[in-house]
């Protein structure tokens, strides 16, 4: 992680993830999730689409859908907007919900209100939100802005 220019007063570090690092980390997350039988997967768009692609192949999950929630305007987190929801039987039990990063946990909190039984996994988690993820691969400093390969 490199020290960075102050992103509008909030972020003091940057982490740039290459395609190779992203793929390696997504496969490592899949390894952590492979011992369960999944009914399907939900990607939280847009960030969860990349990890969902790799995880769906690694875990052989063919039923993949999306739940669309937005909260960012560039690097400023604002109010959550639920753009597309989903209704699943049993509160989402047996379903895997995937995102790239858990930051404050607000997005995951909304997902858990809609699908309280679903399992939430993320590649990366920041301290304020890590307790909301059921599984995550790597902890990232709260003041770090993560740049994913599809953003550069």
Return the active site residues. Answer: 99-100, 103
Residue spans of beta strands (DSSP E) within 31-139:
40-45, 64-73, 76-84, 95-102, 119-125, 135-139
Peptide bond between residue 46 and the one before it cis (omega within 30 degrees of 0) = yes
Round to whole Å and give the CA distance between 90 and 40: 13
Q: Answer for the pair 17, 146: CB distance below 8 angstroms, yes or no.
A: yes
Q: How many CB atoms lie within 10 A of CB 84?
A: 10
Distance CA 98, CA 41 (A): 7
């Amino acid at each position: 992680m490199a020290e960075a220019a102050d992103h509008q007063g909030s972020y003091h570090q940057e982490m740039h993830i290459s395609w190779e690092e992203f793929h390696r980390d997504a496969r490592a997350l899949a390894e952590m999730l492979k011992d369960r039988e999944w009914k399907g997967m939900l990607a939280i768009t847009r960030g969860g689409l990349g990890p969902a692609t790799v995880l769906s192949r690694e875990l052989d999950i063919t039923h993949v859908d999306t739940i669309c929630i937005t909260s960012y305007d560039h690097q400023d987190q604002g109010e959550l907007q639920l753009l597309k929801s989903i209704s699943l039987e049993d509160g989402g039990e047996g379903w895997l919900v995937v995102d790239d990063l858990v930051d404050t946990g607000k997005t995951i909190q909304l997902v858990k209100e809609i699908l309280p039984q679903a399992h939430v996994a993320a590649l990366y988690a920041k301290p304020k939100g890590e307790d909301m993820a059921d599984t995550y691969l790597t902890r990232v400093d709260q003041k770090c802005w993560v740049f994913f390969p599809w953003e550069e």
